[in-house]
Amino acid sequence: MRYVVRQNDIDGSWMVVDTLGAEQTVGNHRQRPPAVFQADAWERSWRRLGFGLETFALMPQDADLRVQPG
């Protein structure tokens, strides 16, 4: 899964973390249920784009996507 829920050890809040986006926190909640709801919603939205886009998202913006001979 790309979006996961983790508890913040410092203040006990619940974070929604994008594991593909360099562990970026995309949501912060006082309780776990809203964090799970956000993570599930974002995961469903990401999956609508189709599989294989994770690799595409990690490519440098100036990458040459044409097939190279040889």
Could you tell me the CA-to-CA distances from 70 to 12, 51, 64, 67 in Å, in that order?
54, 27, 15, 9
Average pLDDT on 31-39 reads 94
- pTM greater than 0.75: no
Q: What pLDDT score was predicted for residue 33?
A: 95
Let me know: does 30 contact 13? Beta carbons within 8 Å: yes
- 16-22 mean pLDDT: 86
Read off the tokens for 21.
């986006």
- Which pLDDT score is estimated for 60? 58
Overall average pLDDT of the 14-43 stretch: 91
Please state the domain extents for the chain. Answer: 3-49
Average pLDDT over residues 50-59: 56
